[in-house]
Structure 1
Amino acid sequence: MFIILLQQMLTMLSLIIFGFILIKRKVLDADGTKQISTLLSMYVMPASMIASFNDAFDFDRLKLFGWAIIAALLTITSRILLNHFVFDKEDRTAKYGVTFPNSGFFGIPIVTALIGIQGIFFMSAYIMCNNILQWTYGRALISGDRSSMSIRKVFSNPGMIGATIGLILYIIPLPLPAFMWKAVDSIAALNTSLAMIIIGSFLANSDLKAIFTNRTSYKASLMRLVITPILAIIIIKLLPINNSEVELVMTIASVAPAAANTAILGRVFGGNYEYGARIVVLSSLFSILTIPFMLQFATFIYAL
């Protein structure tokens, strides 16, 4: 697993560098990256989630999906509690970045490499919970205004819609033509390349000196990539899941770098956008090194 994962991380790093070069050579500009981001978040990632439900209905697998939801909620809320003791009350951007991992952009490519497209079935459970809390607690955290929570956004965001459509197709025996599933799979295959190009564009548009000289960004990255994943691994180990695939997928979701929304929502809702972007870029770069080791550690703990 370590060799496969290391190769996947190096592939993702190469794509990040490719995105960086595209920006620096002005092949892509701000409008282009915005369009790619929209395509990725609105269509490609939901397509990946829908494609993962293309399987015969299995009630035991559906029960495991329920355990994945429980694991997701417990691991995310544990970070919310831990952040209150680690960060100052006003350091809302760091709290957001530590609480919400980039489980879609980073998690889906890793799950696909290690398990296959069927592994995204359980990642969808995590993304659903992540989206619900991002658009309620997360939005209030970034804006500093609890009244800004948006229930409508919870049910109308692309991740929630993709998971819901996939779940309905899984539960209800509604066979779709093979060419439609093949089209969805083809769209889903774009996820890794587009996601890493966007991370590369973040890097190219950032002040590298500011990224690597800001101590609080290192603190947030350490929490996001090492401390909270260890906490998540302990929680997952204590749950009676008894399924290595679910445990691995929930772990992958928990070891991913800070969500891109750490920067994006900061700009939209009045948070510290530049600080958020530094956390996203720094944690994304370091995750290339930390993710293989954290997953090896998790495999050792789950085997005990």
Structure 2
Amino acid sequence: MDFFWEMLSLQETLFLLILLGVLVKKLKIIRENGRKTLSDLLIYAILPCNIVASFMGGITLPDGFVHNCILAVCISIGIQVLSIYGSKLLFRRYPANQKSVLSYGMICSNSSFVGLPIAHLMFGDLGVIYTSVFQIPLRFTMWTAGLSLFTDVSKKDAFRKLVRHPCIIAVFVGLILMVAPISLPNFLEEAIDITSGCTVPLSMIVIGTILADAPIRSLFSKSVLWYTCLRLVFFPVLIWLVLKPFPLDSTLVNVCILITGMPAGSTTSILADKYGGDAIFASQIIFASTLCSILTIPLLTFLMGV
């Protein structure tokens, strides 16, 4: 129970950082082009450094680490298949432009900007490693089944986006550094480690700048609340019920449950806006699910018995 209150306190801290992002965007200290620059900085530099630093952290790997990584990929694939077909069933009666947004929001959570920092704070470097491996099928689904909800996509383009994604590259770089008998120069390790330390504050500030533009009107409509409950409560609880009976590594299971319970990803509104979906509705589900996750993530940790 003590950890629940610690996690709630952590979420309050993250919420203040999000509010800072909202404030600097509302005051036009950061404008739209600046927000996009910060997002690119996170995706192309800071998050990859965070992943690589986790592999270099000198952590004591648990027995069966490789087996756990393979399990993380398999569990992630299962969750992605469930989200693809489940969303078709759950949102079949919605208008086409909203159905694509809701389905994409179920397939692709905010596992990078929100998931990675929280996994690091909760489970340390091992949590980041498992999260990064868990994300590999998610990235693949994002650029295949996810993107196809808005536009036609070829397998070649999807594969190219996957292998070029900086976070995926960082996973393989980190694995090489962890298993190979080589070490980076101290100054380079320190530079990566310092850059990695920017992950949490900058991620939350960027989320705040995104939410600053979300329309408040109809923010908690029936469809938005339905999605938020599915994304943050029903889906992760279902995964918890499926995984808990099996004798699996507790950190691995908790990471899978935690990442499944992340809010809608910011790319939901970006793709909806680009390909003619309901971008306003997408912004609403991002805002509502991110706001509600401040409470649901601590509740998930209580459920997991962390």
Common fold: TM-score over 0.5: yes
Of 27, 43, 47, the match for 1:25: 27
Work out the CA distance in 2 between the residues paired with 1:244 and 1:272: 39
Query: Which residue of structure 2 lines up, in the alignment, with residue 226 of structure 1?
Result: 233
Question: Does structure 1 retain, via aligned residues, the 8 Å contact 2:59–2:126?
Answer: no
Query: Which residue of structure 2 lines up, in the alignment, with residue 179 of structure 1?
Result: 187
Which TM-score applies when normalising by structure 2?
0.90
1:181 Cα deviation (Å)?
1.9
Tell me which stretches of 4 or more aligned residues in structure 1 moved more than 3 Å: 55-59, 146-149
Of 283, 301, 305, the match for 1:299: 305
Query: Which residue of structure 1 lines up, in the alignment, with residue 285 of structure 2?
Result: 279
Query: Which residue of structure 2 lines up, in the alignment, with residue 75 of structure 1?
Result: 79
Output aligned runs, 1:141-180, within 5 Å: 141-143=149-151, 145-147=152-154, 150-180=158-188
Work out the CA distance in 2 between the residues paired with 1:272 and 1:238: 40
1:150 partner letter: A
Of 38, 41, 59, the match for 2:40: 38
Deviates more, 1:57-66 or 1:203-212: 57-66
Output aligned runs, 1:1-304, within 5 Å: 1-54=3-56, 55=58, 60-88=64-92, 90=96, 91-143=99-151, 145-147=152-154, 150-212=158-220, 214-241=221-248, 243-299=249-305
- Structure 1 portions without partners, runs of 5+: none
Work out the CA distance in 1 between the residues paired with 2:78 and 2:167: 19
Work out the CA distance in 1 between the residues paired with 2:256 and 2:250: 10
Work out the CA distance in 2 between the residues paired with 1:142 and 1:240: 39
Superposed CA RMSD: 2.0
Closer, same or farther: CA 266–173 of 1 in aligned 2, 3 Å:
farther
Closer, same or farther: CA 10–78 of 1 in aligned 2, 3 Å:
same
In percent, how many aligned pairs have the same letter?
A: 28
Closer, same or farther: CA 270–172 of 1 in aligned 2, 3 Å:
farther
1:178 Cα deviation (Å)?
2.7
- Give the aligned length: 297
- Structure 2 portions without partners, runs of 5+: none
Work out the CA distance in 2 between the residues paired with 1:67 and 1:150: 23
1:253 Cα deviation (Å)?
0.8
Which TM-score applies when normalising by structure 1?
0.91
